[in-house]
Chains A and B, each alone.
Chain A
Amino acid sequence: MDQTLRELYQDIILDHSRHPRHFGALPGASHVAEGHNPLCGDKVKIYLLVDANRRITDVSFEGKGCAISVASASLMTELLKGRTVEEAEGLMGGFLHLVRGESAQTLEEDDRERLEVMAGVSAFPMRVKCATLAWHAMKAALEGERTARTE
């Protein structure tokens, strides 16, 4: 297997796809949105519990899709918990840079290191939308939209 493939399907990504974190519905969620990629059939539903200080106190997701989209959603839930809405948007901005192969200087070093495992997708333009689906759904949820599409 060549190097670019190895970077795409790193062990940590395969692990997240096989054992997704925070998987399932979140009863009492304050914000919910579904991301749908009609061309590939991937679907992901993001649940957020945002408190009065605009802090994400809990998060979960459910859905099905390829290894990249499930791993990306799982990784996102790990990073979002405890962040403010503004911080979540900042993370998304940095993540979008990473998966497009651009520099993500706006991210804190810790966050960048954790999200960088997804950067291998930048070598596969067809798969970038798999990685971004959950993030678009998260943003839609925070903005009160019910659905997000990557097509």
Chain B
Amino acid sequence: MRPFEGGGEMIREVTRANVTYADAPMRFEAGTPPIVEAVGLAAALDYLDAVGRERIDAHELALARNATRRLKEVNGIRIIGEAADKGPIISFEAIGIHAHDLATILDREGVAVRGGHHCAQPLMERFSVSGTARASFALYNTAAEVDALIAAVGEARRVFG
């Protein structure tokens, strides 16, 4: 396979008449490699190991379970996807409120969700919904942020009735 771009480190020999390229993968990695990114990735992995993968899992799942339970207490909220071993992410519909209206209100209340069909239109059709809001939890999220999510969904409910 011929190289798709030129740059440092991808050449074997260049003469006035001819050129030969380094072996793969070097021939496809012209120029300065992403050194900073590789160092950053290693630092991020060290950080995750220092915190502990199991602790991160437990923290994220506790937030998601708490949020799921409390979302169900808000009027007209339908949770989509409740597999027993699902990850710390919640797709939900506020019945009567389009996902983009919901996402706009949540955004203004300081809560970032993804709203819409999530590039999964057939799945939306399967659940008879035009779109959902999707909240996810990571190790840096807090219980107070779950409170903010619940309050913001309640606010959207008040606006739209």
- The interface of chain A, by Cβ under 8 A from chain B, is 1-2, 4-5, 8-9, 14, 39-41, 64-68, 124, 126-127, 130
Evaluate contact between B131 and A8: CB separation under 8 angstroms.
no
Which among B101, B116, B158 is the interface contact of A41 at CB below 8 angstroms? B116
Give the residues in chain A near B105, CB-CB below 8 Å: 1, 5, 9
Task: Write the chain A residue with the least CB distance to B97.
Answer: A67
A1→B98 contact, CB < 8 A? no
Bound Cα distance from A116 to B87, whole angstroms = 44
Q: Which residues, 86 to 100 on B, are CB-close (under 8 Å) to A? A: 97-100
Which A residues are CB-close (under 8 A) to B155?
1
50-71 of chain B: CB within 8 A of chain A: none
Closest Cβ neighbor of A124 among chain B residues: B104
Residues of A within 8 A of B117 (CB): 40-41
The docked-state distance in angstroms from the alpha carbon of A5 to that of B105 is 7
Name the residue in A2, A8, A40 with the highest tally of chain B Cβ atoms < 10 Å from its Cβ.
Answer: A40
**Size of chain B's interface in residues, with CB distance under 8 A?**
20
Interface of B is mostly: helix
B2 an interface residue at 8 Å Cβ cutoff?
Answer: no
Asked whether B130 lies within 8 Å of A64 as measured between CB atoms, the reply is yes
Type the 1/0 row for B123-161, where 1 means its CB is closer than 8 Å to any CB of A.
010000011000000000000000000000001001111
B160 contacts A41, CB within 8 Å? no
User: Does the CB pair B121–A41 fall under 8 Å?
Assistant: yes
A–B pairs, 11, beta carbons within 8 Å:
A8-B104, A9-B101, A9-B160, A39-B116, A41-B116, A41-B131, A65-B130, A66-B98, A67-B98, A67-B101, A68-B101
B108 interface residue per 8 A CB criterion: yes
- Per-residue CB contact flags for chain B residues 104-115 toward chain A (1 = under 8 Å, else 0) read 110011000000
Residue of B nearest to A121 (CB): B104
- Bound complex: CA A130 to CA B100 (Å): 10
Beta-carbon contact of A2 and B108 below 8 Å: yes
User: What B residues does A126 contact at CB under 8 A?
Assistant: 104
Instruction: Say how far B154's CB is from chain A's closest CB, in angstroms.
Output: 11
Kindly state the separation between the CA atoms of A128 and B130 in the bound complex, as whole angstroms. Answer: 19
The residue that A66 contacts in the complex, of B101, B108, B158, B159, with Cβ under 8 A, is: B101
A124 to chain B, nearest CB (A): 6
A127 touches B160 (CB 8 A): no
Report the bound CA distance from A68 to B36 in whole Å. Answer: 44
A101 CA to B8 CA, complexed, in Å: 49
In the A-B complex, list the 10 residue pairs whose CB atoms are closest, starting with the nearest: A66-B98, A66-B100, A5-B108, A67-B101, A66-B101, A9-B159, A41-B117, A1-B155, A2-B108, A40-B100
